[in-house]
Structure 1
């Protein structure tokens, strides 16, 4: 007792430490995942913004190119003196063009000396040369198509905002240079657009030439900026010249940013968009801060509760020495009362089964018993054991610790095959209607548990109608779980028609009755174990719990809708599978026991009564049995001389090394003896749902065991021969 008390205090101390360490570890993992997710989201935002900026810039430059082409067509073949004579009309046309395009500050036509023949700003234009401007000089000696210049300040007497030129060469019929057509583009037009699409904190957008000259920038700059081609930005762009995504300290302010860039097709221009890494981190901090707002109080509350429980436990243990006898008696009484309340129905059913077994055993001991009566009593014992195993299966199914044996079957066909049995179970006063789909509705589930779930729902409906009424079974494919007023399987997070379907959706099996209905106050408890409205001895309270456990363990759900006085509808949803997965029907296995013929079996079982039963049965069938009560000694026997044994038959749940551990150790050591496992319940198996070994479920029959052992040993011999 004192050791148990010390252990409980030590457990509470570990729980207190875990209540802090586990949230911290989970928070660290969540923080790492959240940071990666936040960066990915930021990259997608940058790409979307870059798409918009690229499309905008492309359309702007295409529009300017078309405008320059139109101007060139207007003055094509005109001598300069003709252009000067028509200057007023051409001035109005250029002014109309620049006014219609918000990105343009002005439009110009220059002669071969760089003097303005016509522009959209002044009429007549001053006699002033612009031959030194880059947008003019670039075209003097060569034909280069459209040229995009550097940002410039207007030259007196012209005033206004800074601009960069987009120009084209004016050529004569013989190809000689006769002047330039130029459009002055406003960087602030792009910057205003960037301010609209980059309103988030830390946003960055820019546009620049391939030689590093920056034409527009957000945040706006108070100076000209030219990027070094051999600098970090230039090297990154040179490595991936068309587009890319980089994290870099931007040269204008040395602020680290995540920047995406893309070249505008057919133009020596890049556009870029990005976010400051500090803004990305701020988003992450905000997300994690929300977790902390809820996590810190919850963790603190849990720690305080555990601390209170620890101190309370210490206090109770200090008083336990003086009051042990009285408390033990009180606890014993309380345990018995709780146990009687929870298991009255289960005990009633088990007592009935045990009565059948005991009476049959007593009758079998009577002398001069006829063979017919002896066989009848043996059959009664076997049936009672089967019903007891089924009740145990219901308990494990609710706890979701039953090892299911899934198989693909057609729900409609399986329900149709149960019609006669349901009619007998429900009685002649209940009308049964089945609405089955024309096409197969296949599921991958434990067929036995499925039938048990249907019988439990039907029995529940029968009792709700007091044995008289109408039950409708409806099977149909469903993409989602239908809306329900009650929580789905007791889980409010899954109610409200939420779409949980996978690739093929669900198969819904609805059981509707015309009974008295379920009050709203009881809807949330009907799936609880041992909860029943029936009198003691008339129900275990496990029927709907089995339905709930089966549905959840099979990846489905169970819902209920009900109205007092108008009946109830229970709907079981199971994940649907593709129609081509239906296997070919096989004949049932009714083979008799297989003689051992001297086959050597290493039997590992810690329960001596069960071990002796299995050993005696196998010995009578001609098997040579070596009995060991723990897996550690069994492994030692196998390591010493594995050739002595043809097969290992081991229980799973044993102290120390389990049967699963033994099977893994046999594999790891390369021992060629096959292993067959047995269990009535295994946490490890229930978590996995399947195991890559032969498994015999308890309770088992000797003839069933002999067939499995013989099959496994024969497979070993066949595999050895093939090698």
Structure 2
């Protein structure tokens, strides 16, 4: 009995110990997981907050930089005496600038001695030198671009809040120093912004220069502060200079914080955001306190732990789903924006061309029209159709879906042959310099598209120089190619064609968009925005690449890279498209066209030239005609894009059945044709003329004697 009782007591003790040990073990596991999760969440919050602070600072400095650049343009080339004479007007302009930008305290223009020529605070400015300010003397010896100074106190008689200077050098035409343009920026503007976005307990923000000078701080400091580059913070930033996360005691107040930092692109400035580690621990303790409250007994603790894990996972998945939806919405909006831009440009240009055609048709219908005016309206219609075809060709070339007609030609000879036309096109104010190689540089590409690309680049260069300047055309075997072509470089390499100008250059912010369709910086009516996009599409579709290097005020250099072919290949010549129509002399043509109006147009035109025409509106019926009696026809002329069986399908079926009738294809655009080619068939590009069609049919048709012999 006693033994049984002792065993019962021992069992109760073990159960008591277990009732304590199990909750403690579960609590320890839960505490570890919770602490790790809290740290991860805190890091993500810091990164998101840092994204906001970085974007805000970048926009502010870019806005100030643009404003300084505009001010520099206003006074560029003006002597100090002229600036002083215009001081009242310039003062009002600087005052409007400072009033329009809440981050600015004032704006200044200094002469070479550090005296204010004009500022936004006082008119006229006091005769006082600021040559000892960092924003001034930093520019005296050399051009360093945009300089961001340390926090300063206004010098009497000027008053107000502390500021730091953002300045740029004023240089004469020969590059010598003639003064400084400066904007006084308020640190409290940044600190107020940080106070709005840093509402969580323990939030921290700072902005400082790369040398450690802190120019904005939240919570605000009542003294100047500079980080030691050799200290713990400086060492961690030096190890990862672009961005990073660290846990460190911040030197200004000794409080330990979890801090993320990031450098602002193109500026020697860092922004940082963080949380006090005590605040992160408080979050974790709050979470653990909930477990303690609901963690007794052990079964309840286990249940609540699982429920918490489930809710936490569900919350994280929900956040991830929302983030994916936001990313998809952004991508969709970007696609819609590009589509809207493309659609608007196409509609604008095609409506202009259709207006010319419609007006010409209306005028042709007028009675008693003279022959001279009739020919003029017919010519206008033909020109509008040609421009519409060119616009379509450029669009398809940009999309890399335009079937090209490659031929081998010498790039140097082709450019030399265009010299007279380029001289006329560019005007007498443009000096043309051509550096062409002595040895042939052969490529296999569409010669017409190549000439169009060269003219587009030259025209773009002319417009950038406003009709006066120098354009260099250079052809050579490429020694270095863009990274996108390194994996494609064959045994023969690439030929580079560079077009350099002495124009105004392209701002860095616009370099990424210059190849977009209908993107143009020209005035309305001065350009369609399709020139450079045609160059881009032609280069990519020809297996090459196009690059651009540019700096504002230093001109631009466009480089077109095309695959080189062996020098022993001779260029192939194409017959001119202006040759007359070829009479049919009874040649039998099977015309396959689902568009009845277009089919009738081709049939009527060919019939007038003496061709025997059989017209069907689908490829299935055409194949049936050929299956019954293929010897009736000398050639098949078929559209590519048709419902059901396409023209390519028909050509393949004729080849598979060994039907000896040649096929000529026609299309305005076919994705399958652009991807697969024309299966060796001749191709007539829409819109086509009856003269062109007759020449291609006559060239492609099988000899009449073969057909006649087969029919006997």
After TM superposition, the score normalised by the length of structure 2 is 0.50
The alignment status of 1:646 with 2:619, answered yes or no, reads no
How far apart in 1 are the matches of 2:707 and 2:621? Answer: 27
Gaps of 5+ in 1: 1-300, 314-330, 482-487
How far apart in 2 are the matches of 1:668 and 1:307? Answer: 52
Are the equivalent residues in 2 in contact too, given 1:443–1:575 (CA < 8 A)? yes
Structure 2 match to 1:502? 490
Are the equivalent residues in 2 in contact too, given 1:345–1:536 (CA < 8 A)? no
How far apart in 2 are the matches of 1:469 and 1:695? Answer: 42
SS at match of 1:508: strand
Structure 1 match to 2:421? 421
SS at match of 2:614: strand
How far apart in 1 are the matches of 2:621 and 2:575? Answer: 41
- Quickly say closer, same or farther: Cα 1:656–1:584, change in 2 above 3 A: closer
Which has the greater radius of gyration?
A: 1
How far apart in 1 are the matches of 2:574 and 2:504? Answer: 43
Q: Report the alpha carbon displacement of residue 716 of structure 1 after superposing the two structures with TM.
A: 6.1
- Quickly say closer, same or farther: Cα 1:423–1:355, change in 2 above 3 A: farther
Structure 2 match to 1:628? 616
- Quickly say closer, same or farther: Cα 1:718–1:525, change in 2 above 3 A: same
Q: Report the alpha carbon displacement of residue 704 of structure 1 after superposing the two structures with TM.
A: 1.3
- Quickly say closer, same or farther: Cα 1:599–1:405, change in 2 above 3 A: same
Deviates more, 1:430-439 or 1:542-551: 430-439
How far apart in 1 are the matches of 2:480 and 2:438? Answer: 20
Please, what is the CA RMSD of the aligned residues? 3.3
SS at match of 1:581: coil
- Quickly say closer, same or farther: Cα 1:361–1:679, change in 2 above 3 A: same
- Quickly say closer, same or farther: Cα 1:558–1:337, change in 2 above 3 A: closer
Structure 1 match to 2:587? 599
The alignment status of 1:637 with 2:637, answered yes or no, reads no
Where does 1:495-574 land on structure 2 (aligned, <5 Å)?
A: 498=486, 501-574=489-562
Structure 2 match to 1:72? none
Q: Report the alpha carbon displacement of residue 670 of structure 1 after superposing the two structures with TM.
A: 2.5
Are the equivalent residues in 2 in contact too, given 1:618–1:706 (CA < 8 A)? yes
Are the equivalent residues in 2 in contact too, given 1:343–1:540 (CA < 8 A)? no
How far apart in 2 are the matches of 1:406 and 1:683? Answer: 18
- Quickly say closer, same or farther: Cα 1:511–1:407, change in 2 above 3 A: same
How far apart in 1 are the matches of 2:345 and 2:524? Answer: 6
Structure 2 match to 1:688? 676
Structure 2 match to 1:137? none
Are the equivalent residues in 1 in contact too, given 2:631–2:707 (CA < 8 A)? no
How far apart in 1 are the matches of 2:321 and 2:705? Answer: 61
Are the equivalent residues in 2 in contact too, given 1:479–1:499 (CA < 8 A)? no
Where does 1:21-100 land on structure 2 (aligned, <5 Å)?
A: none
- Quickly say closer, same or farther: Cα 1:698–1:399, change in 2 above 3 A: same
SS at match of 1:367: coil
Q: Report the alpha carbon displacement of residue 546 of structure 1 after superposing the two structures with TM.
A: 1.1
The alignment status of 1:609 with 2:589, answered yes or no, reads no
Structure 2 match to 1:155? none
How far apart in 2 are the matches of 1:457 and 1:305? Answer: 45
Where does 1:643-682 land on structure 2 (aligned, <5 Å)?
A: 643-682=631-670
Are the equivalent residues in 1 in contact too, given 2:577–2:692 (CA < 8 A)? no
How far apart in 2 are the matches of 1:707 and 1:374? Answer: 27
How far apart in 2 are the matches of 1:456 and 1:605? Answer: 35
Where does 1:106-255 land on structure 2 (aligned, <5 Å)?
A: none
After TM superposition, the score normalised by the length of structure 1 is 0.50
How far apart in 2 are the matches of 1:661 and 1:307? Answer: 45
- Quickly say closer, same or farther: Cα 1:601–1:689, change in 2 above 3 A: closer
Query: How many residues of Structure 1 are paired with residues of Structure 2 in the alignment?
Result: 390
How far apart in 1 are the matches of 2:649 and 2:321? Answer: 38
How far apart in 2 are the matches of 1:503 and 1:335? Answer: 39
**Superimposed CA distance per residue, residues 428-447 of structure 1 (whole angstroms, 9 cap, x where no aligned partner):** 22222212122221111100
**Superimposed CA distance per residue, residues 79-127 of structure 1 (whole angstroms, 9 cap, x where no aligned partner):** xxxxxxxxxxxxxxxxxxxxxxxxxxxxxxxxxxxxxxxxxxxxxxxxx
How far apart in 2 are the matches of 1:306 and 1:628? Answer: 55
How far apart in 2 are the matches of 1:377 and 1:599? Answer: 34
Structure 2 match to 1:432? 432
Gaps of 5+ in 2: 1-316
SS at match of 2:703: helix
